[in-house]
């Protein structure tokens, strides 16, 4: 029978070649790094994953589904998907779901990033990018909804490609906010933003629709 919490002394590294998924069905707490890689398969975090250093989760084809919490107490978190989606689950208002001392970087080549839980850094940046091969009007690359919130100790950068990007009031940045849509796609600012620095918005082929705006310093349309 496995223990309730898995505590290796140093690090946890798992790589699944060809086809196969990784499921966290028990809590994991390591003193080093967590490095999970699949070629064709999903990564499902059903229990808490905590590391003193970095946490990296990568899949070439498949989803990353964070239903519980992942925490890097002393480093950064990286989530990378070739084809598939990243879902940061809904654990209730203000419940830390993805937390890092330093940076959080989520990148999806073809697919979406859906944020339904609090995602925060203490000192570092939050960077997220997602895209599609072709533009479908009304489609979104990055979705922040329900109890989703981005709270950064430094900058926040959101990049969409071939999709609209909706920025809600669930964004808090201690420095700057940069929002870009590459190829085709519009940017919608639905409500107030809590930003201590500058807000920079760029739409390569699309509209920039501004609702209420209350960033503290300055607003740029680039």
Residue 6: the pLDDT is 52
Q: How far is CA 69 from CA 26, 29, 91, 206, in A?
A: 12, 12, 9, 35
Phi then psi for residue 146, to 5 deg, are 55, -115
CA–CA separation, 145 and 128 (whole Å): 15
DSSP one-letter code for 146: T
CA–CA separation, 164 and 135 (whole Å): 9
To the nearest whole number, what is the mean pLDDT of the chain?
88
Reported confidence tier of residue 220, pLDDT bands at 50, 70, 90: very low
Reported confidence tier of residue 90, pLDDT bands at 50, 70, 90: confident
Question: Residue ranges per domain, the chain?
Answer: 20-177
Average pLDDT over residues 66-92: 95
Three-state DSSP state, 43: strand
DSSP one-letter code for 219: E
pLDDT tens, 169-204? 788 899 999 999 999 999 988 766 788 888 899 998
Residue 8: the pLDDT is 52
Q: Which two tokens stand for residue 37?
A: 């890689």
Question: For residues 66 and 89, is the Cβ–Cβ distance under 8 A?
Answer: yes
Residue 55: the pLDDT is 98
Burial class (CB in 10 A: 0-12, 13-18, 19+), 134: exposed
Beta bridge partners of 208: 187
pLDDT tens, 122-181? 999 999 999 999 998 888 999 988 888 999 999 999 999 999 988 877 888 999 999 999
Nearest to 215 by CA among 162, 152, 167, 173: 173
**First vs last C-alpha separation in the chain:** 58
Residue 162: the pLDDT is 96
- 221 vs 42: which has the higher pLDDT: 42
Dihedral, 89, 172, 28, 54 alpha carbons, nearest 10: 130
Determine what percent of the chain is predicted with pLDDT higher than 90: 68
CA–CA separation, 192 and 215 (whole Å): 7
Residues 6+ apart with CB under 8 A from 165: 140, 141, 142, 158, 179, 181, 185, 186, 187, 188
- 4 vs 85: which has the higher pLDDT: 85
pLDDT tens, 98-124? 999 999 999 999 999 999 999 999 999
Question: For residues 65 and 92, is the Cβ–Cβ distance under 8 A?
Answer: no
- pTM for this entry: 0.90
């Amino acid at each position: 029978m496995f223990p309730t919490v898995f505590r290796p002394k140093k690090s946890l590294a798992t790589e699944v070649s060809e086809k196969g998924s990784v499921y966290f069905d028990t809590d994991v707490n390591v003193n080093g790094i967590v490095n999970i890689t699949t070629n064709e398969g999903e990564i499902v975090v059903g229990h808490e994953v905590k590391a003193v250093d970095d946490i990296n989760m990568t899949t070439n084809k498949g989803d990353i589904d964070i239903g519980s919490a992942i925490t890097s107490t002393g480093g950064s978190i990286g989530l990378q998907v070739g084809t598939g989606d990243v879902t940061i689950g809904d654990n209730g208002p203000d419940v830390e779901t993805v937390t890092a001392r330093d940076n959080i970087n989520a990148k999806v080549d073809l697919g979406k990033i859906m944020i339904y839980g609090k995602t925060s850094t203490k000192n570092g940046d939050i960077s997220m990018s997602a895209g599609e091969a072709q533009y479908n009007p009304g489609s979104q690359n990055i979705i922040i909804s329900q109890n989703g919130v981005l709270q950064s100790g430094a900058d926040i950068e959101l990049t969409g490609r071939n999709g609209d990007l909706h920025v809600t009031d669930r964004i808090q940045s201690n420095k700057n906010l940069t929002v870009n849509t590459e190829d085709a796609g519009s940017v919608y600012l639905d409500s107030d933003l809590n930003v201590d620095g500058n807000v920079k918005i760029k739409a390569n082929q699309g509209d920039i629709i501004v609702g209420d705006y209350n960033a503290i310093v300055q607003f740029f349309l680039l």
